Amino acid sequence: MSINDSGIGAGAPVLAFDVGGTDIKSALFDGDGIALGLQRTPTPRPGDDPAAALIEEIARLSDALRAQHPAVEPRALGFVVPGIVDADAGIGVFASNMGWRDAPLRALAEERLGLPIAFDHDVRAASWAEHELGGAQAYDDVIVMVIGTGIAGSILIGSQPYTAGGYAGEIGHSPVADGALCACGARGCLETMASAGAIARRYREATGTTPNGAKDVIARAASGDAVAADIWNSALDALALALAQLTAVMAPEAIIIGGGLSRAGGALFDELRARLAARLSFHRIPVLIPAELSGNAGLLGAALRARERA
Asked whether the domain spanning 137-291 has the same topology as the one spanning 14-127+295-309, the reply is yes
Mean pLDDT of 210-233: 97
- Whether the CB-CB separation of 78 and 17 falls below 8 Å is answered with yes
The secondary structure of residue 239, as a DSSP letter, is H
Residues 6+ apart with CB under 8 A from 41: 23, 24, 26, 57, 61
CA distance 49 to 144: 32
Going by the DSSP 8-state scheme, the letter that residue 87 receives in this structure is: T
Could you give the C-alpha distances from 187 to 172, 176, 199, 218, in angstroms and in order? 12, 9, 16, 24
Give the homologous superfamily in CATH for domain 14-127+295-309.
ATPase, nucleotide binding domain (3.30.420.40)
Listing DSSP states for 261-286 in one string gives GGGGTHHHHHHHHHHHHHH-SSS-PP
CA angle 212, 214, 220 (to 5 degrees): 75
Residue type, 119: F
Amino acid of residue 229: A
Mean pLDDT, the chain, as a whole number? 93
Write the pLDDT tens digit of every residue in 240-293.
999 999 999 999 999 999 988 999 999 999 999 999 999 999 999 999 999 998
The 10s digit of each residue's pLDDT in 280-309 is: 999 999 999 999 987 889 999 999 999 999
Cα distances (Å, whole numbers) of residue 289 to 25, 39, 89, 270, 273: 25, 28, 32, 11, 10
The stretch 75-94 carries a mean pLDDT of 94
Q: Which CATH number fits domain 137-291: 3.30.70.141, 1.10.287.110, 3.30.420.40, 3.30.70.2740?
A: 3.30.420.40
Confidence class of residue 150 from pLDDT cuts 50, 70 and 90? confident
Please determine, for residue 6, whether its predicted confidence score (pLDDT) is greater than 90. no
Neighbours of 5 (CB within 10 A): 7
Does pLDDT of 217 surpass 60?
Answer: yes
Instruction: Write the burial class of residue 269 (CB in 10 Å: 0-12 exposed, 13-18 middle, 19+ buried).
Output: middle
Radius of gyration of the chain (CA): 20
Q: What is the mean pLDDT of residues 199-212?
A: 96
Per-domain residue ranges of the chain: 14-127+295-309, 137-291
